[in-house]
Amino acid sequence: MRVLIVEDEPVMAEAVRDGLRLEAIAADIIHDGEAALEALTINDYDAIVLDRDIPRVTGDDVARWVTQHQPATRIIMVTAADRLDDKATGFELGADDYLTKPFAMRELILRLRAIARRSATAAPPVLEWERLRLDPFRREVYRGDRYVALTRKQFAVLEVLVTAAGGVVSAEELLERAWDENADPFTNAVRITISALRKRLGEPDLIETVAGVGYRMAAEPRG
């Protein structure tokens, strides 16, 4: 999952970003509405954590734009106002969920997981490939009957690969989807993570390297 945080309070924005990264959720920070609209036209985000009270372009106008142009992007609207009328307005603008400041980081994580499960792409709650099962909500992976313990980053990379359903995913795309825009494009983090992930998943190897292109999930040998 990749999330855009639109928040004009730098300390709060960084705290939210760091909390999301601990859950292997890639997160980018934007401090005003105009820059948010620009970022949304450049990058693909699964969700946006949107403060209503931001400068240049209001959070309400950003929500209207997202609802009209990128309906698959989920919106969690954040505000200091907790009146019912304010929440009603937020939902009318297209918000999928609403949080009142201050909020617990754990609550934001749970709400992001929940809206991801009911995303516009209708992704199944549990992803499957061959005898591999990946549950994004419970953060669990099983290969057959064997539980596979993964780090947060390994889980994020595997989720991207399984979602691609056998399609090739480049290292650049993995960096974009499982890390964030600040990831060094020349890092070997993807290669290292894939190598460790292969060891965790065991034999036969379920991740195939496509030379010069990227990685994809491989079929298990038959017979």
- Per-domain boundaries in the chain: 2-117, 127-217
Residue range 127-217, CATH number: 1.10.10.10
pLDDT in tens, 126-160: 899 999 999 887 788 999 999 999 988 899 899 99
Q: What is the pLDDT of residues 19-52, one digit of tens each?
A: 998 888 889 999 999 999 999 998 889 999 999 9
Q: What is the rounded distance in angstroms from the CA atom of residue 82 to the CA atom of residue 99?
A: 9
| Placement of tokens 């297209």 in the chain | 94
Statement: residue 205 has pLDDT above 90:
yes
In the chain, % of residues over pLDDT 70: 91
* Residue 185 φ then ψ, to 5°: -65, -15
Q: Where are the alpha helices (DSSP H) in 51-122?
A: 59-69, 84-92, 105-117
**Order of all β-strands in the sheet with 26-30:** 26-30, 2-6, 47-51, 74-79, 97-100
CA-closest candidate to residue 209, choices 198, 223, 222: 198
Round the average pLDDT of the chain to a whole number and report it.
87
Please tell me the distance from the alpha carbon of residue 16 to that of residue 31, in angstroms, as a whole number.
Answer: 13
Superfamily of domain covering 2-117? Response regulator (3.40.50.2300)
